[in-house]
Amino acid sequence: DAERGNHPTIVKVLWDNSKSKAGEEFPHLVYLSREKSPRHRHNFKAGAMNVLTRVSAVMTNAPIMLNVDCDMFANNPQVALHAMCLLLGFDDEIHSGFVQAPQKFYGGLKDDPFGNQMQVITKKIGGGLAGIQGMFYGGTGCFHRRKVIYGVPPPDTVKHEMKGFTILQGAAGQVWELKGVDRII
C-alpha cells in the first residue's frame, strides 16, 4: 500500500533478540524505512540516520548501531567481530566514532570506466585523510557509536526493553509494521 516517495515510517523486526541453540544471544535485526512525503525534504542519509537513532533508542538503546542499505550484504561472516575489535580496541572510546567497510560493487564492467569502485577515494584519498582525523562517513556499511550520533553520551542508567509498536508510534510518529517478510534473502 505504500508508495515509494510517499509513506510513513515502516518498521519490521526481522530477527528478535533471541538465543541460539548453544545459548548465544543475537542482536536485533530491524528493517527500517523512514517516512517520506512529497511535501517535506527527507534529507537522504541524514534523515535515515535520524530515524535509525530514534527507533533503535526506543527498541534497544544498544551502544553500537549498524547502518546498511537494504541491497547490501557482508561477504565476510566475521565483519561484526572485526568492527567491534576496531571500535573497542582503543583505550579511550573518544578515539573511535565509527567503523565502516569500503563499498564494493559486483557485476560491473571489468575496466570500471565510470569509477564505480571508487578505488582512488578509498585507497589514495582515504589514507591521506588520516591527517584530518580520518575518513568521512560514506553512507552505508558502518558501525556507529550511539554517543557519536547523539553528540553527548546518553544516560547509562536508562535501560530499554523491547517495546511494542504502540510505544514506538509515540516516539517516531506514524509507523506501519511491515508484514509478510519472513526471511532475509
Which of these ranges, 20-24, 94-98, 119-123, 167-171, has the smallest mean pLDDT? 167-171
Are residues 162 and 77 part of one domain? yes
Are residues 130 and 61 part of one domain? no
Residue pair 103/141 in contact (Cβ under 8 Å)? The answer is: yes
- Does this model's pTM top 0.85? My answer is no
Are residues 131 and 85 part of one domain? no
Indicate the pLDDT class of residue 160, thresholds 50, 70 and 90: low
Annotated binding site: 45, 69
Are residues 73 and 38 part of one domain? yes
According to DSSP, the residues that pair with 176 across neighbouring strands are 10
pLDDT tens for each residue of 76-86? 888 889 999 98
Beta-sheet strand order (sheet of 175-177): 29-33, 9-15, 175-177
Annotated binding site for Mn(2+): 45, 69
Residue 96 counted as domain residue: yes
- Burial status of residue 67 (CB atoms within 10 A of its CB: 0-12, 13-18, 19 or more): buried
Residue 42 counted as domain residue: yes
Are residues 161 and 108 part of one domain? no
Are residues 15 and 90 part of one domain? yes
Structural domain including 15 reads 9-103+139-177
Residue 177 sits at φ, ψ, to 5 deg, of -90, 125
- Residue of 17, 4, 9 lying closest to 168 (CA atoms): 9
Angle, CA 175 vertex, CA 139 and CA 10 arms, to 5°: 40
